[in-house]
Amino acid sequence: MTTTHLNGTSVKVNVTFDGTPTDIDGDVIAVTIRRGRSRQLDQMTAGSCNITVRNDARTFDPLNTASATGSTSRPRMPMYVEVAGTRVFTGYVNDISIDWDRTDIGTVTYSCIDGFSVLANQAMTAHTATQQLSGARVTAVLDRSEVDWSATARAIDPGQSTLQADSVPASTNVLNYLHRVAQSEQGRMFIAADGDLAFHDRLSVINPTPSIQLFDTEAGAGGSNPTYQTFRQDYGTDLLYNRIETQIIGGTLQTASDATAQAEYLIRTLSLTELLLLNDAAAADLGDYLLNRYKNPDLRVREISTTIQANVAKWTQLLGVELGDVLQVTKTFATGTPTSVVESCVVEQIGHSITPERHTITFGFGSVDEFSYLTLDDPLLGQLDNNALAF
């Protein structure tokens, strides 16, 4: 069953009760979803989804033995949410809250979490890793018998950094270790909306081409591009670091700094230690890369939100936006100079607020690397003297 909401979009909420996938969207009051991270230099956190359903008839009450769904409710039930046929969240029920008021109006809230919750509660046995690229290391961890992550539920880039053959102690937390791999690569690792574990290396957003353009006016958007309702920019010290410390396991501390930026903004240090990189030279290169990206403050689009207005491609294309995608945002102004700003923004956080009356999507952004990197056979980016070499 799929429920059509007042704005014309179709919503499907499915929970597996006692091994039986069951559509419950006809009883859903509200769905809220949040995935990603709030700050670009942080690790991705586990995605969450809260589903509130009507429970006046005790259909979803775990104490109601007369209900097939209620009596078989339990934590860790698989679930997913789709909008207009596009998966927007896949995970597991983590907690079940049953609420009643004095007039016997009842609700049940399923607090759900994505596959990071599985990895966060797993530990590896002692072993020595193989020297390999970061993507191969992620694959090797997922393939271990004590992890046993499905081979069909992953989308992993090869990686750009070679990692050392480090000694992994017994009881090493799987998710924490994978976060160290992502940090060493300076890539993104997250659970995608379809439930796959995704690993993007750092070159995934170099010289990006925006997948969707968003405008603040219908005239600018035309017939095929969506508009947004709210727009927020940030200009501050959130991503300002002019002194970078990097150190591999068993290596020497490497320091990169910029005296001009320190004189302008005072010294702000980012320290990354226990990196899995192969040698000190790789750690130094990483420090230089991060210094070039973050030594000066960046005035950037931090967040926009938009309301899905119809079950048509102009709006539903936004449902397929994934973490790490690049969107182009245009903001116009009635006064001042310039009269418009166009920015490419990398998606770091995605939120959905869904009720029968409204579906609002919020995108949180990080900054796109503004360097133009050398790209072979490209007429503009293939010029040796005009484009930087990527790390």
Residue-wise pLDDT tens digits, 190-213: 999 999 999 999 998 777 789 899
Domains of the chain, with CATH numbers? Answer: 3-114 (2.40.10), 119-200 (3.55.50.10), 243-294 (no CATH)
What is the pLDDT at residue 367? 86
What is the pLDDT at residue 381? 38
CA quadruple 377, 378, 384, 387: dihedral positive or negative? negative
69-78, 224-233, 367-376, 380-389: which range is least confident on average? 380-389
**Strand pairing partners for 96?**
110
d(CA 216, CA 303): 13
Query: Given a cut of 70, is residue 246 above it in pLDDT?
Result: yes
Average of per-residue pLDDT across 279-300 = 96
Whole-angstrom CA distances from 297 to 128, 234, 237, 268 are: 40, 10, 6, 11
Average of per-residue pLDDT across 145-150 = 98
The rounded percent of the chain whose pLDDT value lies above 70 is 92
What is the pLDDT at residue 347? 97
Query: Given a cut of 60, is residue 351 above it in pLDDT?
Result: yes
Provide φ and ψ at 243, rounded to 5°: -140, 120
Q: Are 288 and 186 in contact (CB under 8 A)?
A: no
Mean pLDDT (the chain) is: 92
Query: Given a cut of 70, is residue 374 above it in pLDDT?
Result: no
Average of per-residue pLDDT across 68-76 = 95
Average of per-residue pLDDT across 2-6 = 63
Query: Given a cut of 70, is residue 379 above it in pLDDT?
Result: no
Nearest to 5 by CA among 44, 37, 31: 31
Q: How confident is the model at residue 388 (pLDDT cuts 50, 70, 90)?
A: very low
Query: Given a cut of 50, is residue 376 above it in pLDDT?
Result: no
Nearest to 242 by CA among 268, 260, 263: 268
Q: What is the pLDDT of residues 296-313, one digit of tens each?
A: 999 999 999 999 887 778
Q: What is the pLDDT of residues 80-121, one digit of tens each?
A: 999 999 999 999 999 999 999 989 899 999 999 999 999 999
What is the pLDDT at residue 383? 44
Query: Given a cut of 50, is residue 375 above it in pLDDT?
Result: no
Q: How confident is the model at residue 3 (pLDDT cuts 50, 70, 90)?
A: low
Q: Are 233 and 206 in contact (CB under 8 A)?
A: no
Query: Given a cut of 60, is residue 344 above it in pLDDT?
Result: yes
d(CA 327, CA 209): 8
Q: In the 3-class helix/strand/coil scheme, how is the chain assigned residue by residue?
A: CCEECCCCCEEEEEEEECCEEEECHHHEEEEEEEEECCCCCCCCEEEEEEEEEECCCCCCCCCCCCCHHHHCCCCCCEEEEEECCEEEEEEEEEEEEEEECCCCCEEEEEEEECCHHHHCCCEECCEECCCEEHHHHHHHHHHCCCCCCCCCCEEECCCCCEECCCEECCCEEHHHHHHHHHHHHCCEEEECCCCCEEEECHHHHCCCCCCEEEECCHHHHCCCCCECCEEEEECCCCCCCCEEEEEECCCCCEEEECHHHHHHHCCCEEEEEEECECCHHHHHHHHHHHHHHHCCCCCEEEEEEEECCCCCHHHHHHHHCCCCCEEEEEEECCCCCCCEEEEEEEEEEEEEEECCCCEEEEEEEECCCCCCECCCCCCCCCCCCCCECCC
d(CA 85, CA 91): 17
